[in-house]
Structure 1
Amino acid sequence: MANLFSSFDPSTSFNLNLNWMSTFIGLMFIPPMFWMIPSRINILWINIINTLHKEFKILISNFNIKGSTLIFISLFSLIFFNNFLGLFPYIFTSTSHMILTLSLALPLWLSFMIFGWLNNTTHMLAHLVPQGTPPILMPFMVCIETISNFIRPGTLAIRLSANMIAGHLLMTLLGNTGPSLSLLMINLLIIAQLLLLILESAVAIIQSYVFTVLSTLYSSEVI
């Protein structure tokens, strides 16, 4: 490796450019649900989907088209699988790269903006000035709200990729110190790595949920 961050470069491992195929590994877990005898994993995933459907239905209550929550459930599933698979050895974490996270966030935000400005122009203009703003502050509030609106896809993408990189980088740094440690310190290092792995598993779930919920909230504002 040329530097520490080259461990996240998809072109360095084994001199193969197939690492992005890890994005599609998660799809292997989905099809058996539809043709195999229902298992505990199947029941668990159905419960997760039903819970997410109820959550998103409340958030986008103004949008009463059937199946409108499915796009957000699919988005949650894609990010969740990629985050979780990235914790396994030798599997490339595609969600730690801005090229994937920005590809998810930017089209969603852009479609919401186009839909909102074309169909609810007055509603979108009203969002630029929060209720109860003094008249003298209105021009400043319009500038602030416009800037905050434009940086939304960037914040979504950076939040996800930064959280994925931070945990993996910490585990890499701790793991590289292993050969130079004593037996007692190696035992402590293994315990610390296991605790970090549990933390990263929680982060994988939380970050996929946060990304999806924020996307849902942004969509509810344009209706």
Structure 2
Amino acid sequence: MTVSCPQCGASVEARTETRFHHCPFCTSSFVAEEGRGIVEYYLAHSRDDRLAWSTLASTLEGGGDDSPVERLGCEYLVAPFWLSRSGGGTRLVPALRHPWFGMASLVLPGGDLLYVPKGSDFTPPDIPVAEAWGDGAGREPGSLALVHLPLYLLTFRVGGSDCRAVVSAVDRRAYLLDPLPRSAVTLPLRHVALVVGYSLLLVIVGMAVKNHLHRAIAFAIIFGMAYFSFNAFLRREA
């Protein structure tokens, strides 16, 4: 099967579909898919599990969850994705069958897209373009590419629940696949008693004082007392 190199346009003999090929003229790497050459890129990254866990911790803290995280597992995978450029935007669709990838809407990280070197052992795609995009998708010249993204697949336990997250290594972005457990907010009993007491006082004063001006003055005094009381309680607990 003869296909055109997506970089230089030279005719290249591709013996198999959806496998890695290299142009003998410009040395670029590409994938032969449905009788056409699709350019193939990767993003450089050296594995660092600490970076993945740090990214997860920052994401949880940014979401207001400071619960302790129990680390259960960290898998590093450079996974292939079909990249479509159309209408001024980009979109990634998994090119590898993995149960986690369909749950996370990954975006293309910033960074240099490098041509896959000859002799590389990147995981080949097992989802054809037609299955990933449907008929007619990515048919414009140069609109479709294969990108290998370095990802961390994390499993962890927080608040007694097992959760999963995909961390994009290049842009340090975490995609949570499971909802985090909601932490119950408890108020000290004395705070509850204080709120109830001031609420009852407001009801009693509102029913007893008939004059609107006197009632407003009484409410202002009660609210002022409540403000200073709560401040005193908070300073004592701090």
Regarding TM over 0.5, the answer is no
TM-score interval for Structure 1 and Structure 2 normalised by the shorter chain: under 0.3
> Which structure dedicates a bigger proportion of its chain to helix?
1
Which one has the largest radius of gyration?
A: 2
> Which structure dedicates a bigger proportion of its chain to strand?
2
Please give the TM-score of this superposition, normalised by the length of structure 1. Answer: 0.26
